[in-house]
Homo-oligomer: A and B are copies of this chain.
């Protein structure tokens, strides 16, 4: 599965913003976030735009613009981030409709929908157990600084 890096980018951005906020810098530009992630600012504007639509960050425009966390990082679960940046389901169905004259072809889709839905729920429960603050704490804890 050619897994994309959107969740990684978004969590990285939020963790970095949370660390900066703790240091008193409550607003950052997309260039500053991009410097930590080491990618293009447009990538971050796209990602942060999705987080804004989900209510996880706020943005100021015009001169002196920038991004801020909309709530404390303890209250941002990775599930919320996942929902913000990812919409496709984990597993894809058939590209072409299966043969309707075969019992399996007729009936397999609802069954797989159920199985796949259960699997996705399991992922969601797991992501819900970790917050951006947890991620930041584990990052800092792993470093001797």
The residues of A with any CB-CB pair to B shorter than 8 Å are 1-5, 7-9, 11-12, 15-16, 19, 35-39, 78, 86, 88-99, 102-108, 110-112, 114-115, 118-119, 121-123, 125-127, 129-130, 135-136, 138-140, 142-143, 145
Contacts and interface: CB of A to CB of B under 8 A. Distances in A.
A2 to B, nearest CB: 6
B136 A104 contact: yes
Contact of A98 (B37, B94, B95, B111): B37
State how many copies of this chain the complex holds: 2
A15 B108 contact: yes
A99 to B, nearest CB: 5
Contact of A97 (B3, B38, B97, B98): B38
